[in-house]
């Protein structure tokens, strides 16, 4: 059950990051606080998506706490790196986020996957 909570946390935090990025690109610049505040008070689609992203972020923290309660930190913490992969991949394909593909980022993603495989690869039990 702990792994389920951990994966839910990763999915929710990834969705939250993508939603907040899309919303903040659509809204007026934060440095113009008057326009930004006015846009937030209109309850437009970007405002609702931003609120949804914040809600997803909060729910991901709840799932994370439930995962931490059930699994050792050394096993669950590496799973957070999956969100980097999910967010980068989704940001390449989703409209309005405008992420660019770079080969170096792909190499980084491959290194993350290799690291996860090393951490979770079943090892031999050595009893002496």
Mean pLDDT by runs of 10 across the 128 residues of the chain is 96 98 92 87 92 98 98 92 96 91 96 92 70
- To 5 degrees, how large is the angle CA 91–CA 80–CA 121? 115
Q: In whole angstroms, what is the distance from residue 70 CA to residue 51 CA?
A: 29
Q: In whole angstroms, what is the distance from residue 62 CA to residue 79 CA?
A: 16
What is the reported pTM?
0.87
User: 53 and 91 in contact (C-beta within 8 Å)?
Assistant: no
Predicted pLDDT of residue 37: 87
In whole angstroms, how large is the CA radius of gyration of the chain?
A: 18
Predicted pLDDT of residue 128: 56
Query: Which among 13, 5, 35 has a CA at the least distance from the CA of 90?
Result: 13
Enumerate residues 6+ apart whose C-beta is below 8 A from 89: 109
Helix (H, G, I), strand (E, B) or coil at 43: coil
């Amino acid at each position: 059950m702990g792994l389920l909570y951990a994966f839910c946390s990763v999915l929710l935090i990834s969705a939250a990051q993508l939603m907040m990025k899309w919303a903040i690109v659509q809204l007026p610049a934060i440095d113009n606080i008057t326009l930004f505040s006015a846009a937030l008070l209109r309850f437009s689609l970007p405002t609702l998506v931003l609120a949804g992203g914040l809600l997803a972020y909060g729910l991901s923290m709840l799932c994370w706490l439930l995962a931490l309660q059930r699994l050792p930190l050394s096993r669950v913490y590496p799973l957070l790196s999956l969100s980097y992969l999910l967010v980068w991949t989704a940001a390449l394909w989703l409209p309005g986020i405008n992420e660019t593909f770079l080969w170096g980022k792909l190499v980084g993603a491959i290194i993350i996957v290799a690291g996860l495989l090393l951490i979770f690869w079943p090892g031999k039990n050595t009893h002496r």
